[in-house]
Every structure is written in structure tokens, then in C-alpha cells.
Amino acid sequence: MRELILNEEIYRRVIAELVPQATRFLWIITADIKDLHVPAGRRAYPFLKVLADLVESGVAVRLIHAKEPGPRFRQDFDRYPVLVESELFERVLCPRVHTKAVVADGKRAFVGSPNLTGAGMGARHADKRNFEAGFLTDEAEDLTKLMTWVDDLFIGEYCGRCRLRDRCPDPLDGD
């Protein structure tokens, strides 16, 4: 299955369905990350709570992003100590990341244009959200190729020859 999803449908299919259904691991790759909130009735809670709940239930979460998030995200992050204390949560920065993808359990993935922000993922009001597109897939060939690439990125396979290394806050290859 390869399915094109657009705009606010991205929120429903990725944030509300794909992410919470992960049972073994969840990989999120994004250039920009902000304090995305998840509606719950008349209120909303930080997406970081979703990630913390997954970690607490034994799901390994890997978050790769390009730049430091803003102060509101950092405040929310500090409210979920499991994201710092658990070995199941890994967060790394790579200033060259521009990919936007979510991989759940190696069985389904979303690849598209939105960053992990409310406006990008379609969680904001219809008059304030971005125009975004992406594909959901469960095709084995797509998943293998994407996961191999993300794993290589995560372990620092590209760091040695990166021309932005002098500006990298924490090279992934550890050198």
C-alpha cells in the first residue's frame, strides 16, 4: 500500500493513528520541531506526552531533528523525565536533516513534507495550518530502504565526509 495523504488528514493518520499504534519502536525524523499539541476533548496536551507514554510502555523512540527546538518545546520536554532517564528514548541533532518521516515498528511509514509542528502536521486551525503532502506505505522495499538510510544517519555514517561538521553541535559518529 502506498497512499497519498494531504493537509489535516496527515494529523489524523500519522499523529493520531500511526504513532500511538507503535508497539516496538518509533522513529521520527524532522528538520524542525515545535511544541505540537494533541487535542483531547476541549483540551490539548503536548505530543511529547504521547512519546513519553510510548517509552513508558516499552516502545523505543528515536527522534532525529536538525535544530534545537524552541523554549516552549524545552519546557514541555522537562515535564517528562522518562524522555531523559530512559534508554528507550534517543534524541539526536543533525543540521543537515531535512527529511520528514515517521517509521512505526518497521511495518508502516510516513514520508512527506511536514515538519513535526502543529502547522505542519495539521493540528492547527484550518486557516493557520500549512499545505502539506506525504505518503503512507507498508511496502517492504520502501521500509527497508528508508530504515537502512535512517539507521546509517543515526549511527553517524555520513559524519566523516560532512562539510557542515565544523558547525555540528554533536557529530553522530562520536569523533
- Calpha distance 106→133 (Å, rounded): 21
Q: pTM for the whole thing? A: 0.93
Residue whose C-alpha cell reads 557542515 in the numeric block? 164
CB 141 within 8 A of CB 121: no
Q: Which of 29-33, 70-74, 109-113, 123-127 is the least confident region?
A: 123-127
| Predicted confidence (pLDDT) per residue in 43-63, tens digit | 888 999 999 999 999 999 999
Reduce the DSSP state of residue 115 to 3 states and report it: coil
